[in-house]
Amino acid sequence: MKAVIYHNPACATSRNVLALLRHAGVEAQVIEYLQAPPDRMRLRELIAGAGLCVRDALREKGTPYAELGLGDPRLGEDTLLDAMQRHPILINRPFVQTALGVRLARPSERVLEILPVLQTPFVKEDGEVVIDPRRR
């Protein structure tokens, strides 16, 4: 199986998801989205594929979210997408796409929904067991 991950190496969740993909034997195309952000159409596809609205895909922490007034519920999706294109740090991460679908893998365990069943345990970098042989 192949996957595309929109990755931020400075993010522990993103690192855990990438490690989980590798643990599952998935060949991952890693796109560091802060250096190479998805274009507007691709961003819309990822958000829709994950079953989200644009607002759900916005990151607040450590971004210019508040400074730009993006919490205003009157702002439409086009305005929010414009902000995400100008400031890719506003795109929540990691988005992952496999043949089984797209997920915003927050928490990292969400990626399991679009991976084949794993046979061996996986442990996050903080020691938390994400999956065991019984897939719990």
Kindly provide the b/e burial profile for residues 29-47, where b requires at least 16 CB atoms within 10 angstroms of the residue's own CB. Answer: eebebbeebbeeeebeebb
Q: What's the pLDDT at 121?
A: 81
CATH class, domain 2-131, is alpha beta
The span from the CA of 4 to the CA of 29, in Å, is 5
DSSP 34: T
Helix (H) or strand (E) holding 91: none
The model's pTM is 0.90
The span from the CA of 21 to the CA of 31, in Å, is 14
Q: What's the pLDDT at 33?
A: 98
Mean pLDDT by 10 residues, the chain (136 residues): 97 96 94 97 98 97 97 97 98 97 95 86 87 56
Catalytic positions, written as ranges:
11
Nearest to 88 by CA among 45, 59, 48, 56: 59
